[in-house]
Copies of this chain bind each other. A is one copy, B any other.
């Protein structure tokens, strides 16, 4: 490193290589703020320089408004917990209304950054975000940019955030009409999945988050898919033990992928975990977020699997199993917005604009993940719009049948 190398004529160059390692733990627990559960306090252990006594850890807490409505006692519980374990809560917990719409509001990012500034938090202080994926994304972005990064502890409270986005290395807000246009790659300091939070979820959110578990199973792990397939009824019946197991397995795949695939900050052109996502992001926008992210992903999986079968890549038997699992969990496999401008791909409200956005956001060579079989993802660099149009027409047709 740093050897001078002469390149053309009048120029010289120094080559620099910077290696950074981020370590974080993903915890699974229940009763996170029960006074008898020491986990949260242990995660926020203060730095302890050898020659100085440890001072209490400083933290602020941001809570999802939806969660706060279901669990109004949570704020007091957190205050009591911090008191009991000598954690220095620098302000009353901040309640922000959660949901994807919050990510369109840039003033919320500023509000959190301002709180970090006003309360004198430093890089070794903690910002604790408790809520769904949208709240974790937004709070994460504020924490990542204040002081160039304050420690973020994510406490995901939905299935979707627990089994997918909450354990990853991204944060974001929407801007200029584009989902996740602003953000950073910043690993969290820690993630804590408390299954008790899932009890507060409505059935729709309980199911929606499973789409990401189905997705990771389809591209990485046929055994996990089979297990979900055999557990459809238990999951629909809200069996917490089965749900915890699905979440933990899904987390493990996501973490393994991020840790070992070699491009955690997506500097290349590949994003294999985004199977089913090019249309999903687009459908969220086209439905004005009437669709939950997981619900949009379920449609995206159905679409890309049907495309795969019609293209001759995916065996028919696998394709049928995929659609059956999704339908069995209760997912719709089609919405009108998918078809509205499907036959006018250049129309500004066509689902196919999602292919362009996907290309632009990720950059470089166009790459999407498709399936060659259950558990076997494969990257492709071009697709046929006509075949996708056939797949959309098919999904519309079977949806009409099921609706009878």
Residues of A within 8 A of B (CB): 1-2, 7-31, 37-39, 42, 47, 49, 51-52, 113-114, 117-118, 120-125, 144-150, 167, 169-170, 172, 175-176, 178, 180-187, 248, 251-252, 255-256, 258-260, 264-267, 269, 359-365, 381
Contact = CB atoms under 8 A, between A and B. Distances in A.
Contact of A122 (B11, B167, B364): B364
Contact of A258 (B18, B38, B365): B18
A255 to B, nearest CB: 5
19 contacts: A8-B37, A8-B39, A8-B42, A9-B37, A10-B29, A14-B25, A14-B248, A14-B255, A16-B259, A18-B21, A18-B24, A18-B264, A120-B360, A122-B362, A145-B184, A147-B360, A148-B183, A149-B184, A150-B363
A143 to B, nearest CB: 11
A38 B252 contact: no
Contacts of A20: 19-22, 264-265
B172 A269 contact: no
Closest 7 CB pairs of A and B: A122-B363, A123-B363, A124-B363, A11-B29, A124-B364, A117-B176, A49-B365
A65 B49 CA distance: 46
A7 B40 CA distance: 12
Contacts of A1: 256, 259-260
A358 to B, nearest CB: 10
B25 A15 contact: yes
Contacts of A47: 269, 364-365
Contacts of A9: 37
A117 to B, nearest CB: 4
A117 B178 CA distance: 9
A181 B39 CA distance: 31
Contacts of A10: 29-31, 37
Contacts of A39: 7-8, 11
Contact of A365 (B52, B184, B186): B52
A297 B144 CA distance: 28
Contacts of A267: 123
Contacts of A360: 120-122, 147
Contact of A114 (B24, B51, B176, B258): B176
A260 B265 CA distance: 21
B145 A145 contact: yes
A181 B112 CA distance: 13
B2 A252 contact: yes
B27 A11 contact: yes
Contacts of A148: 170, 172, 180, 182-185, 265-266
A145 B37 contact: no
Contacts of A2: 252, 255-256, 259
B51 A17 contact: no
A347 B51 CA distance: 29
B24 A16 contact: yes
B145 A14 contact: no
B18 A169 contact: yes
